[in-house]
Amino acid sequence: MKQPLFSEYELYLFNEGRNFASYQTLGAHLVEYDGVWGVRFAVWAPHATAVKVVGEFNDWQGDNSPMSRQGESGVWALFIPGLIVGEIYKYAIDTAQGCLLKADPFAFFAEQRPKSASVVAELGSYCWQDADWRSQKRGQLLDKPVNIYEVHLGSWRLGPDGGMLSYRELARILPAYAADMGYTHLELMPLAEHPFDGSWGYQATGYYAVTSRYGSPQEFMEFVDACHARGLGVILDWVPGHFCNDGHGLKAFDGTPLFESDRPLRAENRQWGTTNFDFSRSEVWSFLISNALFWLDVYHIDGLRVDAVANLLYLDYAREPGDWEPNRYGGRENIEAIDFLRKLHEAVFARFPNALMIAEESTSWPLVTAPTFTGGLGFNYKWNMGWMNDMLLYMETDPLQRRWRHDKLTFSLMYAFSENFVLPLSHDEVVHGKKSLLDKMPGDYWQKFANLRAFYAYMIGHPGKKLLFMGGEFGQFIEWNEAQSLDWHLLSYDMHQKLHNYVSALNHYYLQQPCFWEKDAGWEGFEWINCEDSLHSIVSLLRRDSHNNVRLMIVNFTPVERLAYRIGVPLRGKYCEEFNSDSQEYGGSGLNNTGIIRSEPVPWDNWEQSVVITVPPLAAVVLAPMG
């Protein structure tokens, strides 16, 4: 007697928005059915009049491959015996408007662009080597160093033939490079299948299909495994807010609005030329929450950076008055999307308590990183876009004029502990005419590098986890272009190589010094020494670890050295210079504080003791107590 293709309970949970392993039910799966091996297909298309599986195996004619409706679930299913991994297929969906050819929303793999068919894939055959990594009790990393290297795999480095490197080729070089540079995590720009390279992956058609641009699912597993072997966590950019409009994708999937709202003002996303998900639909919850868990489960991803959260939270995001519909209470908040985010995090942390869930959220929405049971959204980190915008505006200002914008340097401490923050210098800041980080810096050639070194040091001293986009570590001079490699040849130039050495040294110093991360989430780990010296554009701060050890950082944002600069110190005794961004080995002028620096009983900066030091031009100095 034939067994049903699914349990009714699986489909019931999917319709209820509570099947968070729906990728095990829907899609194309190699299975044994009534003693015969083949592929079981399943797709959600509730408004279709008929659905067929078409592919090379039936000459793209589906008359012999009709799917059957599974009760009232809206799911159609078919088992085709004899099919194997690698078969290419689509769904032919009959609608009132005609037949649509659609890729499988749950496909695990797809053809390379510009082709768009789905590919039968089997994901359980890879032999993972990261059991030790997965078993570590890493917690939420609030009291650990987090230093993220953001990467676009297609343009980090190209092969000798000018083509993109594969996951396997990248696995041999990128994890080792990032670990040697002192990074703790790689953040990968989206790898869900997408048709257009220029979208950078943020407009997807295949949410469960790792892009075929760089190789197979198993090769991507090798890449993640290689990262874990080098002690690197892997964070993946994830886009649950909107999807690509291409015809083979999710839009009007069964001839009607299905994954999107049937209300055009809710569905249409004019800002990006995409379509928003409908979070009032329970099946969309099953689809997206399952997808988040899929990346964490199947590919051993360590966390997700959720893109464009403001687009989920606000119905009027990037819209003009009259171009949006209020919620049922007359407000601008997307109530259903807020509920979705909370359920997402409850589901993720129930299964993966050590996962990183990072919000790219650009507004002042409260409690983004607070637990859901306290009314928060449930993320454990949020990008600090305010710090990024203020700091870039400050750093782009002529140093002689910075005194008038001193508040841009210090204002972030007014809210630094309101959320668990990541300080991002991301890809968005080095494209579309914004210039590269190095080219944003004012001054002559030497001053550009000095400014950038001081900026990076201040970033390390400021509370919050750290993120830098690729190329920033060696001073990419031109804007990032996804169609070409980073300019690695710049490392043959002295100042670029010295900047590269500096970033590596600064990163490793950060990793080795608990004062800069052990108490990163509150005032007990940070204290201003002097944040009011706008005349000299100098700030001095103190960082403290859990054993009450301290480090003092002084940053001079002008090209004028201060040869007898006094700062208050918390302890009487001896100090030494532990780090100096102006060292000649980093391309600086070599103005150092050598030998022992003794405190004096001269009250300064609200402390009874103080020291007199040399503060180099456009540079950061770190002092450490001795004994």
Is residue 20 in a domain? yes
Residues 104 and 221 in one domain: no
- CATH label of the domain that carries residue 278: 3.20.20.80
How many Å apart are CA 174 and CA 506, to the nearest integer? 19
CATH number for the domain harbouring residue 592: 2.60.40.1180
More confident site: 33 or 75 = 75
Nearest-angstrom CA–CA distance, 306 and 616: 40
Per-residue pLDDT band for 12 (boundaries 50, 70, 90) equals very high
What contacts 24+ positions apart, CB below 8 Å, involve 61-64? 62/92
283 is catalytic: no
Task: Judge whether 298 and 279 are in contact, CB under 8 Å.
Answer: no
pLDDT in tens, 568-625: 999 999 999 999 999 999 999 999 999 999 999 999 999 999 999 999 999 999 999 9
pLDDT value at position 314? 97
Sign of CA dihedral 335, 337, 338, 342: positive
Residue 627: per-residue pLDDT: 75
Residue 139 lies in a domain: no
Residues 302 and 171 in one domain: yes
3-state SS assignment for residue 526:
strand
Check: CB of residue 295 under 8 Å from CB of residue 301: yes
CB-count exposure of residue 229 (10 Å: 0-12, 13-18, 19+): middle
DSSP code string of 556-567: E-SSS-EEEEEE
Boundary of a domain, candidates 100, 119, 138: 119
The total domain count for the chain is: 3
Catalytic position from the list 268, 360, 473, 533: 360
The bridge status of strand 233-238 relative to strand 185-188 is parallel
**Run of H or E residues at 511:** helix 494-512
Instruction: Outline where 366-444 has alpha helix (H).
Output: 385-396, 406-410, 437-440
Give the distance between the most distant pair of CA atoms in the chain. 92
Q: Which two tokens stand for residue 540?
A: 């001095």
Name the strand (E) or helix (H) holding 16.
helix 8-16
Q: Which two tokens stand for residue 432?
A: 């579309």
Burial of 362 from C-beta contacts in 10 A (0-12 / 13-18 / 19+)? middle
Q: What pLDDT score was predicted for residue 97?
A: 86
Place of tokens 């150092």: 592
Q: CA 48, CA 93: separation in Å to the nearest integer? A: 6
pLDDT at residue number 600: 97
Q: Are 273 and 375 within one domain?
A: yes
> Is 56 a known active-site residue?
no
Alpha helix (H) residue ranges in 122-267: 131-135, 153-156, 167-180, 217-229, 264-267
Per cent of the chain over pLDDT 70 is: 99
Query: Looking at the structure, do residues 217 and 294 belong to the same domain, yes or no?
Result: yes
Q: What is the mean pLDDT of residues 327-345?
A: 97
Q: Is there a domain that residue 101 lies in?
A: yes
* 382 within 8 A of 369, measured Cβ to Cβ: yes
Range(s) of the domain holding residue 551: 523-626
- Neighbour count for residue 370 (Cβ, 10 Å): 17
Please state, in angstroms and as integers, the Cα–Cα distance from residue 399 to each residue in 47, 70, 133, 406, 429, following that order: 63, 68, 46, 11, 21
* 231 shares a domain with 371: yes
Tokens representing 295 are 């990346």
Average model confidence (pLDDT) across the chain: 96
Verify that 60 and 16 share a domain, yes or no: yes
Shared-domain flag, residues 176 and 323: yes
- Per the CB < 8 A criterion, the answer to whether 380 and 370 are in contact is no
Both tokens assigned to 370? 């607070």
Residue 566 lies in a domain: yes
Q: Are residues 163 and 220 in the same domain?
A: yes
Distance between CA atoms of residues 124 and 131, nearest Å: 15
What is the predicted pLDDT for the residue at 244? Answer: 96
- Asked whether residue 271 falls in the same domain as residue 346, the answer is yes
| 535 falls within a domain | yes
Per-residue pLDDT averaged across 448-475, rounded?
98
Give the pLDDT mean for 145-159.
97
Residue 561 buriedness (CB in 10 A; 0-12 / 13-18 / 19+): middle
pLDDT per residue over 527-576, tens digit each? 999 999 999 999 999 999 999 999 999 999 999 999 999 999 999 999 99
Structural tokens at position 575: 């100090």
Local structure of 555: helix, strand or coil: strand
**Angle, vertex CA 511, rays to CA 292 and CA 384, nearest 5:** 50
Catalytic residue among 307, 336, 520, 577: 307
